[in-house]
Amino acid sequence: MSIKNKTILVTGGTGSFGHKVSSFLEKHDPKKIIIYSRDEKKQYEMEKDHPGYHYVIGDVRDKDRLRYAMRGVDFVFHAAALKQVPSCELYPFEAVKTNIIGSQNLCQVAIESGVEAVVALSTDKAVKPINAMGISKSMMEKIVCSQNQHELPTRFACVRYGNVMGSRGSVIPLFRRLIEQGRPLTITAPDMTRFMMSLDDSVELVMHALTQAKGGEVFVKKAPATRVIDLAKAMLRKYGDGDLDRVELVGIRPGEKMDEVLVNEYEIRRADESASFFMIHPEYVDFQENKAYPLGYEYTSANTTLLTEYEDISALLDKIGELKLYE
């Protein structure tokens, strides 16, 4: 599928993913890139680096504003979301209004506007969710992937990420700031594991979904993981003074898991698998059952490739690149 001469709308476009995917897309001769977000300051800052994009202030909660922004759009990357676990725990209905109702608005307007394809961004916290953010993103997946139960000209699909390194609000920029300030790194639980993906990986995944989706699928890119304590010590060694004891345990926050799941035991039975990706078919289509794994197997941050050595984690950190846009 060619991006050339296509108009692409990125909701939540001033965030980490929006910056990265837009920079990728502009190299492929699109007709127009539209950045749709609520924050005028972030749009102002982004426009200084990317004056050729089109910027629209708006919220996915506002269906009329979405109609205005989506006129003539071919592809939509839906990244707008409330994604901070603690704030969604405090204000769960705000997560409902943006992540659930906002996504329903986007789907309806995309169909009305004749959009060719919508790819929505989800998270490992949507799998077996235990917090408000994860529950709202799980419902977002259900809403988006349900659209193609009926024959439509618009294809809908989701992608599901683990921790995206360097993204706004992730632990790596936090650790970098604490190291620069000479403060201890705050660790919730030493043995907690998290998937580690670069922003380049996130772009690769959405483009894979855009080209491969028939409608209703969830796409997952395989990724390594690391224990939080190993990540902290690698960053102290790489960016700090090498004092590996500069760690403070603060306990697990409300809504946090020890390990994350990207594909649960039910989904993996209806997933096609390649060397780099899972493609989870919706339940409403015929699929060939995947019997490669024993019953009950899940793809988690505890059983994926676990990086424990400094050299391996350091090489992963080198993939982040410049952090200034994403802090």
d(CA 75, CA 72): 10
Largest CA distance in the chain: 59
Helix (H, G, I), strand (E, B) or coil at 144: helix
The residues facing 225 across adjacent strands are 195, 306
DSSP string, 77-111: EE------HHHHHH-HHHHIIIIIIHHHHHHHHHH
CB 103 within 8 A of CB 42: no
DSSP single-letter state for residue 153:
S
The residues facing 193 across adjacent strands are 227
Which of 42, 83, 125, 257 is flagged as catalytic?
Answer: 125
Where do the DSSP E strands lie in the chain? 7-11, 32-37, 54-57, 75-78, 117-123, 155-161, 163-164, 185-187, 193-197, 218-221, 225-227, 247-249, 261-263, 271-273, 277-280, 299-300, 306-307
The residues facing 8 across adjacent strands are 33, 75
d(CA 35, CA 281): 30
How far out from the chain centre does Cα 286 lie?
27
6 given a catalytic annotation: no
d(CA 42, CA 13): 9
DSSP single-letter state for residue 72:
T
Q: Which of 219, 231, 192, 188 is nearest to 281 (CA)?
A: 219
On the CB side of 167, how many CA atoms lie within 13 Å of its CA?
A: 27
So which residues are the catalytic ones?
125
